[in-house]
Structure 1
Amino acid sequence: MADGHSVVTTGPLAGHTVQDLLHAHPGELLGPRLDPASGFPLLIKLLDCRDWLSVQVHPDDAQAQAMVSPGERGKTEAWHFLHVDPGAQLLAGVVVGDTLFIPAGTLHALGPGLLLYEVQQASDTTYRVYDWDRPASAGRALHLEESVAVTRADLGGAWTAASETGGVGELVRCAQFTLVGVRGGETTELGGSFGLVTVVEGTLTVEAGGERVEVAPFGTVLVPAWAQRVTLTGTGRALIATP
């Protein structure tokens, strides 16, 4: 997971959190387009689903600011499927390498047998509609009124099929983030902002700003905006998220 609370593991800044770096080096980390006062904007997760996750929905920015707090973000997200057991479901079929864009306001649920990468706005605001008849608890309450207020019946997930992309190239572009798949041997321009590089196949060497680090599967490297570009070497594939 890469967000404001994640801890640097290697190099001279090892032990510092991303939030520490944001305070000490805001421009170098985020680039000129983002306001450091708003915090680190993206969150990366790896989800290993062994049971049905709740049917849920997230607000957009305006709804989150009205319903939660003035500084709160909404939660638009995208999923890239790394492993799919036979018969695994979302309420729709998926295969390895598919990518699904989930804009705020879209009802969604993940089923068992899925291992996936998720990139989202850095927000924990989730409204549960249904939890598969599991016992209610303080940590898993339903939010029916809030869900009705933010759900948009006209929205559905937007698929980018692995059969069309092979898991490389631009997979998602929205107002909140861009997600691209990149293979070893390629250089990616970051466009004036930071990049979150997550290796999803093989082992790759990530080169940026004069530094090199070898990254095993499911490791993530935060490349600051000042580095401008990132080069991957080796045999494998990575996902790069930028704001």
Structure 2
Amino acid sequence: MPESTPLPAFLLLEPQYRDYVWGGQRLRPGEDFTAEAWVVYEHDHVKSGPCQGQTLAELASLYGPQLVGQSVFQKTGERFPLLIKLLDCAEWLSIQVHPNDEQAVEMEGPGYFGKTEAWHTLDADPGSRIIAGVQPGVKPDALQQAIRDGTIEGLAQYIPLQRGDTVFMRPGTLHALGPGLLIYEVQQTSDLTYRVYDWGRPASEKRKLHIEQSLAVTRHNAQAELTPLPELQDGKEQVLCTSAYFSLSMLSAEKRTVPLDTQAATFHALTVIDGKVRLLAGTESLELARFDTVLVPASTGSYQLQPLGSFRALKSSV
């Protein structure tokens, strides 16, 4: 596709699937166990249209600011700036921690990013919990000893989650997702994870513990920020969380069309979490169902989301 060819208004993405020991069967019912769907990832391919078969990384290299926006391009260059996943948690994930940008470069080398992330709870079985930080009053020495001894679960801060809750997680915060959760996760374009504790699972090459790295980046007073789902209004966008790296909002409608505009400043990543919706921009249109994900390039400008019955979708942007 030549560089002079305008980008289409909508890029429907083909997710990549990952399975780990904790995965369930809600992301691909009737298929194999699936832990994660990487619905926005720089190596995801475009599923249809004039860019079919190309990856986000290729399009970012080819189109740069037209795809991601000028200010975003100045920050991250040709690297696509976000990684978005859906996670189906049938068992506890490892207790882990992520570095910030400076620590990532210092510990892993040039080209690595830290990992600031947010979770939105798509579904939660009764009693579902996460770990986010450690209990109040835990001293740094006690925390470090527990990380070394493999007893960190006794000092962890357990927080119940309900459907609709959003959790914002800064680097340096110990955390883990628990059984029964279906999660939307948006993060910097980084999968840099330091595993602290893995619930007694056998150690393997793919599930190493990273004790020294964890000690270097864990902050004893780091806590998550939990926000319950606000009251939804027909045809309105409602912000769930914002940070220097991304913003996350909920779009919902039953009867009213939702107008949006990239203003040529940034892209929009839309994932439908309930119902169906039709996207409209000029003469272009695209219908989406549950878990479908589309990238709206910065060059698209104004567009609309037309409910087909009713829908809810999550929008991430930078």
Alignment of 1:91-110 (within 5 A): 91-110=158-177
Taking a change above 3 Å as real, the CA distance of residues 147 and 209 of structure 1, as seen in their structure-2 partners, is farther
| CA deviation after TM superposition for structure 1 residue 166, in Å | 4.2
Query: For 2:164 and 2:57, how far apart are their aligned partners in 1?
Result: 31
| Deviation of the 1:240 alpha carbon | 0.5
Point out where structure 1 has 5 or more consecutive residues left out of the alignment. none
Residue number among 218, 222, 235 corresponding to 2:295 in the alignment? 222
- Over the matched positions of the two proteins, sequence identity in percent amounts to 45
Q: What SS does the aligned partner of 1:109 have?
A: strand
Deviation, 1:135, is 0.5
Report what 1:190 is aligned to: 262
Aligned to 1:239: 314
Instruction: State the distance in 2 between where 1:105 and 1:5 align.
Output: 27
Deviation track 1:172-231 (CA, whole Å, cap 9, x = no partner) reads 100100001011321233351011001011011123464211011011100000112442
Tell me how far apart the structure 2 counterparts of residues 177 and 210 of structure 1 sit (CA, whole Å): 29
For the residue of structure 2 that corresponds to 1:147, the secondary structure is helix
Partner amino acid, structure 1, of 2:199: W
Alpha-carbon spacing, 1:11–1:107, altered in 2? closer, same or farther (3 Å)? same
Alignment-derived partner of residue 90 in structure 2 = 50
Worse-superposed segment, 28-37 or 74-83 = 28-37
Aligned partner of 1:28 among 66, 74, 82: 66
Q: CA RMSD in A?
A: 1.5
One of 162, 165, 176 as aligned partner of 2:245:
176
1:59 alignment partner in structure 2: 99
Query: Structure 1 CA distance, aligned partners of 2:274 and 2:281?
Result: 20
* Contact 2:269–2:315, Cα closer than 8 Å, also in 1: yes
Match of 1:131 among 187, 194, 198: 198
Partner of 1:199: 272
Residue in structure 2 matched with residue 212 of structure 1 by the alignment: 285
Equivalent position amino acid for 2:286 in 1: V
Query: TM-score w.r.t. structure 2 length?
Result: 0.73
Distance 2:93 2:231 in 1: 28
Counterpart contact for 2:276–2:311, Cα < 8 Å? yes
Assess if the C-alpha contact under 8 Å between 2:272 and 2:292 holds in 1: yes
Residues 1:38 and 1:135: Cα distance change in structure 2 (over 3 Å)? same
| Counterpart among 54, 77, 82 of residue 117 in structure 2 | 77
Which amino acid counterpart does residue 10 of structure 1 have in structure 2?
S
Tell me what 1:148 maps to. 215
Q: What count of residue pairs does the alignment treat as equivalent?
A: 242
What per-residue deviation string (whole Å, max 9, x for no partner) do you get for residues 63-110 of structure 1? 101111111110011000111111111121111111000111111001
Are the equivalent residues in 1 in contact too, given 2:96–2:193 (CA < 8 A)? Answer: yes
SS of structure 2 residue aligned to 1:92: strand
Matches of 2:223 and 2:232, distance apart in 1? 23
Question: Could you tell me the TM-score, scaled by structure 1's length?
Answer: 0.95
Shift of 1:37: 3.1
Q: Is the 8 A contact 2:273 2:290 kept in 1?
A: yes
